[in-house]
Amino acid sequence: MGAKILAIANQKGGVGKTTTSLPLGSALSRRGKKVLLLDLDPHACATLHAKIYPEDLGASLYDIFLAQEGVWSGIWPGIIHPAVLQGMDLAPGSIPLSELEVDFRERSAKGSVLARSLQVLPARYDFVVLDCPPHVGILLVNALVAADLLIIPIQTDFLALHGLKLLFDTLHTLNKVLPSPIRYRAVPTMYDKRAKACTRVLDLMRRKMGHALFNTIIGVDTHFREASALGCTIYDIDAQSRGALSYDSLAEEVLTLW
């Protein structure tokens, strides 16, 4: 059985996509799973978090997207940086990813390039985590087509709920042409139980999404910001912090899905 592909996506920025991708991947790695994180965001936040800088990159995921099918297996080993964050491997993103819309103008089957390239990925991984860009485009479509599970971080804020409609419109369009519907679950993030607005949004999410919502709730925790500043994961700061324990819980939920 090949690696399970987890796409972390929401078409609204600032809802906790990278903040979910990194600790969830770390939590799975801490459970003995071999994890590869793909940074599909041209802003390359996860890449920078791992202290991998654009000027030092020989190759990035952009090279996978540009290459033709027959050479993917030879490109992957040169892109992957081993064990850079809590045992996770990382394939870096880069600014040129933002040019794919133009580069892919004449490309055939352009929505499935990532899915097909992952089929020739080295077979050592249990999970591949896709840290997705916030906007609709060819990168997000590639991530959704490749995904075994779409995980949607939703900030417990009314404006964040509004942004969900865009993502579901995209899902609806893709599901018309894919052989099977894209499986998804949402996770509430940045929850502050002291704020009535947060509790109201969480109640609304539970009513509207039901079983499509993870039981885990990711609360506000300053350790996430500390980890970002230090270029490590929350488990390096405090593995018993509320934030770390909540991603432990989310990882356990993810593992029960297979």
| Cα separation values, 200 from 101, 152, 206, 214, Å | 39, 19, 10, 17
Position 39 pLDDT exceeds 90: yes
pLDDT tens column, 143-193 = 999 999 999 998 888 877 776 777 888 888 899 988 899 999 999 999 998
Q: What angle do CA 53, 155, 5 make, to 5 degrees?
A: 60
Indicate the SS3 state at residue 135.
coil
Residue 58 pLDDT grade (very low, low, confident, very high; cuts 50, 70, 90): confident
- How many angstroms separate the CA atoms of 253 and 258, rounded? 10
| Least trusted range by pLDDT, from 91-100, 120-129, 133-142 | 133-142
Q: Please name which of 60, 54, 47 lies closest in space to residue 231, comparing C-alpha atoms.
A: 47
Fold of 4-255: Rossmann fold (3.40.50)
Give 12-60 as a 3 state SS string.
CCCCCHHHHHHHHHHHHHHCCCCEEEEECCCCCHHHHHCCCCHHHCCCC
pLDDT tens column, 211-240 = 899 999 999 999 998 988 888 889 999 999
pTM over 0.95: no
Host H or E run for residue 132: none
Position 60 pLDDT exceeds 60: yes
Give me the pLDDT at residue 61, please: 96
- What b/e sequence results for 84-95 when a residue is b if at least 16 CB atoms lie within 10 Å of its CB, and e otherwise? bbbbbbbbbbbe
Residue 13 pLDDT grade (very low, low, confident, very high; cuts 50, 70, 90): low
Indicate the SS3 state at residue 87.
coil
Position 14 pLDDT exceeds 60: no
Higher pLDDT, 2 or 203: 203
Give me the pLDDT at residue 256, please: 96
- Under a CB-based contact definition with an 8 Å cutoff, are residues 161 and 201 in contact? yes
- Under a CB-based contact definition with an 8 Å cutoff, are residues 100 and 138 in contact? yes
Structure tokens at 34: 């071999």
| Least trusted range by pLDDT, from 1-5, 13-17, 119-123, 231-235 | 13-17
- How many angstroms separate the CA atoms of 24 and 12, rounded? 20
